[in-house]
Structure 1
Amino acid sequence: MYYISSFVLMVMIMVSVGFFTLLERKIMGFMHIRKGPNKVGYLGLLQPFSDGMKLFLKEHFFPKNSNFFIYYICPVLGLVQSLFIWLLFPFYFNCVNFDYGFLFFLCVSSLGIYSLIICGWSSNSIYSVLGCLRSVSQAISYEVSLSLILLGFFLLCDSYNFISFNFMQNINWFIFFSLPIFFCWFSCSLAETNRAPFDFSEGESELVSGFNVEYGSGGFALLFISEYASIIFMSFMSCLVFFGGNFFSFFFFLSIIFLCFLFVWVRCSLPRYRYDKLMYLAWKCYLPSSLNYIFFYFIKVDILLSFFFVKTLNIYSFFYFQSKCFL
């Protein structure tokens, strides 16, 4: 039954990626004052299926000077990595409960860099190599801040389990007292998933399409699915950490849809950053902010512990002197 649950999860992720692309094209059409997809099916609802059929049924070509086997298998590895991280999502039935889910998240998310490196290197193209170098340096830089921000909330929960966020936020959501950190987290999520305005690995005006420039048809579709599955997962993580963490409420899934909408909204509204400003933002803005948040947490814990220690010491000394006077 566990394999059936995992299979259902993968199918639902694939379907959600398809309809997320439809949502993105509809929102971008509305914001650009033009029509989105509306021809295939009623209101364009069958457009994701037609796009998937078009991509997977097209002729697949291989660059002559590429490393054939690595070039062919790399998109599959990227898709497996993006689906593997979804094991953190809990089920009603056959739930995989990770006591060290935070460490699992860090390990699996860091593996996504290797698929970018291998895609750019195996294509044997100058543009793909430049795109993968940009993407790797960007992902490594922002993964540090992303991990430190997340570490502060796990220390606040005193657990590495993601389900503990549900128990800690029954009264008050974390976003109410950490709103600036939420904006830092959201910006790091945009940079981690290579979305605008941080899409330097796919700068159309400079690198054509970045690390995936030599991929077409099925290979491009697999890379496309892995990228959008990562976007949906980062939206899920944001709702889990900041918006209560109740996995099975209707509001939780509405929050995920709203954050996916924010990803598209930022893409439609903001121009692309300069690359040096991107690195400046990572190392001189987000990293100090996340470290200060962790220091603030530790200072608060030390104050509370000292307060309870003094109170406990006073109580014990009071009973000790009372007993001595009684004797």
Structure 2
Amino acid sequence: MEVLDAAIMLAKILVVFVVVLTTMAYLTYFERKVLARMQSRLGPNRTGPYGLLQPLADGLKLLTKEPNLPASADKFVFFLAPVLVLVPALMVWAVIPFGPAFTAFGRQIALSITDINVGLLYVLAMSSLGVYGIVMAGWSSNNKYAALGGLRSSAQLISYEATLGISLVGALLMAGSLNLRDIVEAQQGTILGFIPKWFILPQILGFTLYLTSAIAETNRAPFDLPEAETELVAGFHTEYSGFQFAMFFLGEYINMLAVSAIASTVFLGGWLGPNIPFLPAAIEGPIWFAVKMAIFIFFYVWLRATLPRFKYDQLMRLCWKVMLPLALANILITAAIKLAF
């Protein structure tokens, strides 16, 4: 039986990472197509039918491109930095539940790689490790633009990590658990027979703060200050090329998927949704989970096409003077209501 358990675990790891990496690759295609439509352009349309092979062509180009190593760079740290950005982004997916558990091979199989009691704490810990990779990339390049980009990015990420974590506390108080599966199950049922008991309704303030913080955490427009081309060239990865640059790129898009998955899990009921006829729960759950994630991803792209970049002082002021007090107030109000009722 231990061999069977190991085989199931390996199969889940393989499926999750293949799906995540494939989705990430076509997320770049989706973003370029949506931006093109919003800007009255065509987007990728030459490589394969409807440009569907464009992500493959981009990947092959980056794999075959010659890596750049600055003569005065700290070589070990320079090569380690992109790894510290990509690996924690992938490790986040170890605890994200995609659907309800189902019975097969005489045992309960969870639709997640593993299920731990402090799953959300693990996610926050892994996501915070990416800051080290960004700082190391900026410092090790021995380039002033890269160093300034690394410092700017680290200040931004550390600031918004605080509001991102605190914005989730209200939902955790309502669920009474840090386990992501328990959080989803706490949102089962309806109010008045038709309104879902998802946490987005009572925690609309926490959801708004989380969404804003997540956009800043992933360095996406309008908070893409570390890559302000007119000021810092490409910021912390100015000196990177080839597959090393691709690792930063992969980390950013996988983090986009991860924060969308956490938002879907904590605020939108995860895999919960209306019953789809003739589909078992083990298939229906992941479908609803993917639909909710797709809504967040589309919102990311929509923002990029719509809003101009913030100034850096506006970015930091928004975090410390507006969002952090609101996040703390949300915790106090939620705790007071929970204690009273």
- Please report the TM-score for the alignment, with normalisation by the length of structure 2: 0.86
Equivalent residue, structure 2, for 1:236:
261
Partner Cα distance (1:249, 1:116) in 2:
32
What are structure 2's unaligned runs of at least 5 residues?
1-6, 102-108, 191-196, 273-284
Residue 66 of structure 1 aligns to a residue whose secondary structure is: coil
| Structure-1 separation of matches of 2:219 and 2:141 | 20
1:212 and 2:237 matched: yes
Deviation at 1:249, TM superposition (A): 4.3
Secondary structure class of the residue paired with 1:62: coil
Q: How does 1:59-208 map to 2 (within 5 A)?
A: 59-90=66-97, 93=109, 95=112, 96-170=114-188, 171=190, 172-208=197-233
User: In the TM superposition, what whole-angstrom CA distance separates every residue of 1:78-117 from its partner, at most 9, and x where no partner exists?
Assistant: 2111101111123654641110112212221111110111
Partner residue of 2:297? 260
Q: How far, CA to CA, are the matches of 1:108 and 1:76 in structure 2?
A: 13
Question: Which structure has greater helix proportion?
Answer: 1
Structure 2 Cα separation of the partners of residues 284 and 61 of structure 1 = 41
Deviation, structure 1 residue 267:
0.6
- Look up the equivalent residue of 1:22 and give its one-letter code: Y
**1:289 and 2:289 are equivalent in the alignment:** no
Q: What per-residue deviation string (whole Å, max 9, x for no partner) do you get for residues 205-234 of structure 1?
A: 111111011000110011100110000111
- Do structure 1's residue 280 and structure 2's residue 317 form an aligned pair? yes
Unaligned residue ranges in structure 1 (runs of 5+): 305-327
Q: 1:16 corresponds to which residue?
A: 23
| TM alignment of 1:32-71, pairs within 5 A | 32-71=39-78
Q: Which moved more, 1:246-255 or 1:115-124?
A: 246-255
Which one-letter code corresponds to 1:9 in the other structure? Answer: V
In structure 2, the residue matched to 1:318 is none
Aligned letter for 2:237?
Answer: N
User: Is it true that 1:270 corresponds to 2:307 in the alignment?
Assistant: yes
Q: Structure 2: how far apart are the matches of 1:66 and 1:4?
A: 40
- Per-residue CA deviations over 1:50-73 (Å, capped at 9, x if unaligned) read 000001111112111111122123
**Counterparts of 1:69 and 1:298 in 2: how far apart (Å)?**
47
Secondary structure of 1:160's partner? coil
Cα distance in 1 for partners of 2:76, 2:156 equals 27
Hey, what's the Cα distance between the residues in 2 that align with 1:70 and 1:80? 15
The residue identity in structure 1 corresponding to 2:176 is: D
Aligned-partner residue type, residue 300 of structure 2: F
TM-score (norm 1): 0.90
Calculate percent identity across the aligned residue pairs. 38
Single out whichever of 95-104 and 189-198 deviates more from structure 2: 95-104
- C-alpha distance in structure 2 between counterparts of 1:181 and 1:218, whole Å: 37
Q: d(CA) in 1 for partners of 2:149 and 2:85?
A: 16
Larger of the two Rg values belongs to structure: 1
Superposed CA RMSD in Å reads 1.4
Residues 278-321 of structure 1, C-alpha deviations (whole Å, 9 max, x = no match)? 111101111111111110122112222xxxxxxxxxxxxxxxxx
Q: Aligned residue pairs: how many?
A: 304
